[in-house]
Structure 1
Amino acid sequence: MLQVVEHGPITRIHMARTLFGRPLYTVEAYLVDGLLIDTGCPGTARELVAWCRERGVQRVVNTHHHEDHSGGDAPLQRALGMPVYAPPQALPILADFPRLQFYRRLVWGQPRSVAAEPLGATVETDRYRFEVIPTPGHCPDHVCLFEPRQGWLFTGDLFIHERVRYLRADEDARLILDSLRRVLTLRPRLLVCSHAGLVEDACGAIERKIAFWEGLAKEARALREQGLSLRQATDRLLGPEDMMARVSRGHFAKIHLIRSLLEE
């Protein structure tokens, strides 16, 4: 599935792999002045290549290496000769993409390896100049792109939602909070997220996510001091684990968020 919505100079590309005609999980890529920011998942790569053929796309920039952001890189490079740029830490992963867990292959597909070039400190198009902001936590190579004149902040998977309740086992909630505070100092006017879409109240949304996680950390710490186990504290604050944890065999779960928030 691939759907396109124009938001002035920003084109939102809404993608999902489908099962029996229903989307499994959605992700966004964005086209701005010939720059394609992320490429969605392998399951939608063929549709993306077909769409890009007539759109004047000049190059790809990945916010990070994950398969729902880089899944179209190799097909675009092979079919259209598209140059791909990614954070330096992502390059060895993209060049020899590891085999994913089953649930990720089911939802997104397995990416092909691709030779990418390292991102520098800025990315320039004919009209815009984006600053590359390191924002680790979701993964070590994660970056955001900030256009200071427009106030646009392309956040990849840094934001996702104001009330995120799940975390992957390899994510670091404390680092994500640090990265959120870092981008908040930029005072963006528009947050452009790979899952939440375009968020007009950029600073307010970031502040509310920080406050939600800080509140969870405070409550979890108090429950642990009362003698509750990590499992019990998680269930009390976020409810029992659901289908997401079962399908991922515990890799994507609520308990990882609480554990990570409590780590010093």
Structure 2
Amino acid sequence: MNGEVAFQGFSMSVYCYLIDGVLIDTGAQSLHKYFEAFINAANFDQVLITHHHEDHTGCAAYIGKIKKVPIYINEKSIDVCANKANYPFYRKVFWGSRKPFEAKPTPTIFHSRNATWDVIDTPGHAFDHQSFLNRNTGQLFTGDLFVQVHTKLILADESINTIINSLEKVLTFDFDEVICQHAGFVKDGRNALKQKLDYLNSVRQEVISLNQEGFGAKEICQKLFPKQYPIIKLSGGDWDSLHIVNSILKENNLPVNY
């Protein structure tokens, strides 16, 4: 399944994948009318969700109602998903209002019809983020771990250090293909993840070096990320390049010095 949400100059694709009887992620509630026919006709035994964000869980309640198949998510966010979603208004405009749904804790290993899968904890973008590796095919479903090589914006509660650790972790596994919930099939996927890891390590070093030279967070942000993306204003600063700088400084116990 693939749909696109666009508003005031910002757009993003959302993918969900059906493979070997497993549906990976459920898309946004705002895309339900486009995904409904696919969901109704699809033959799957279980749903695995990479993390609780509403663009990945928006159709889960509908699936739970009509399909009666188990839905799995990190046990850390089962209670979050069982309640009405609480997130900013602009995200509801994009993704709709995610309804409560029941889920079970994702095991560390699960089986589909013909394959064995590893569940890899990959937090950083979200506290409960997980990636799924099909051992038999060498396909790694990365949720929002990848998205793009050169990250320019993050949410206020994301952690650059933790994302770096998660990238290092998945790269210890044996896989060839990377399949992303926003970028789709990633060409030369393993190398793309390595490139992202190198990029974030480089950004972290630049931020630390500039801070040691006496520059504050906003000054560093202006030097490294001068472009003002529309989503910054649209989200009221919930998405911002400044969060990258702040995350690095705070997590490395360095002064922010606005």
> TM-score, normalization: structure 1?
0.90
Matches of 1:68 and 1:234, distance apart in 2: 28
Name 2:154's counterpart in structure 1.
167
Q: Which runs of 4+ in 1 moved over 3 A?
A: 17-20
The one of 221, 227, 235 equivalent to 1:234 is: 221
- Among 25, 29, 32, the alignment partner of 2:16 is 29
Selected match of 1:158 from 123, 127, 145:
145
Paired residues of 2:3 and 2:34 also in contact (CA < 8 A): no
Question: 1:207-243: CA deviations, max 9, x gaps?
Answer: 1101111111111122222222211111111114332
* Equivalent residue number for residue 4 of structure 2: 16
Q: Normalized against structure 2, the TM-score is what?
A: 0.92
1:197 aligned residue (167, 181, 184): 184
Change in Cα spacing, 1:236 to 1:23, as seen in structure 2 (3 Å) is closer
Counterpart selection for 2:63 from 76, 79, 90: 76
Q: For residue 100 of structure 1, report the CA deviation from its aligned partner.
A: 1.5
Q: Percent identity?
A: 29
Q: Hey, what's the Cα distance between the residues in 2 that align with 1:253 and 1:199?
A: 25
In structure 2, the residue matched to 1:6 is none
CA shift, 1:66, in A, is 0.5
Secondary structure (helix, strand or coil) at the match of 2:41 reads: coil
Amino acid at match of 2:215: L
Task: Measure how far apart 1:35 and its partner are.
Answer: 0.7
Q: 1:222 to 1:136 in 2, by over 3 A?
A: same
1:185 paired with 2:188, answer no
1:123 aligns with 2:91: no
Residue aligned with 2:166, SS: helix
User: Which of these residues, 234, 237, 243, is aligned with residue 247 of structure 1?
Assistant: 234
Q: Give distance in 2, aligned partners of 1:250 and 1:23.
A: 14
Structure 1's 19 and 161: CA in aligned 2 closer, same or farther, altered over 3 A?
Answer: closer
Higher relative contact order structure (alpha carbons within 8 Å, sequence separation ≥ 6): 2
Q: Aligned partner of 1:29: which letter?
A: C
Contact kept in structure 2, 1:235 and 1:241, CA below 8 Å: no
Structure 1 residue 38 corresponds to structure 2 residue 16: no
SS in 2 for 1:213: helix
Q: Could you say what secondary structure the match of 1:156 adopts?
A: coil
Aligned-partner residue type, residue 234 of structure 1: C
Look up the match of 1:217.
Answer: 204
Q: Structure 1 residues 114 and 179, CA, compared in 2 at 3 Å: closer, same or farther? A: same
Q: Quote the residue 1:55 is aligned against.
A: 42
Structure 2: runs of 5+ lacking an equivalent? 253-258
What letter matches 2:168 in structure 1?
Answer: R
**Secondary structure of 1:53's aligned partner:** helix
1:46 aligned counterpart, secondary structure: helix
Aligned partners of 1:157, 1:23: CA distance in 2, in Å?
A: 17
List gaps (5 residues or longer) in structure 1.
1-12
Q: Specify the code of the residue in structure 1 equivalent to 2:174.
A: R
Corresponding letter in the other structure for 1:28: Y
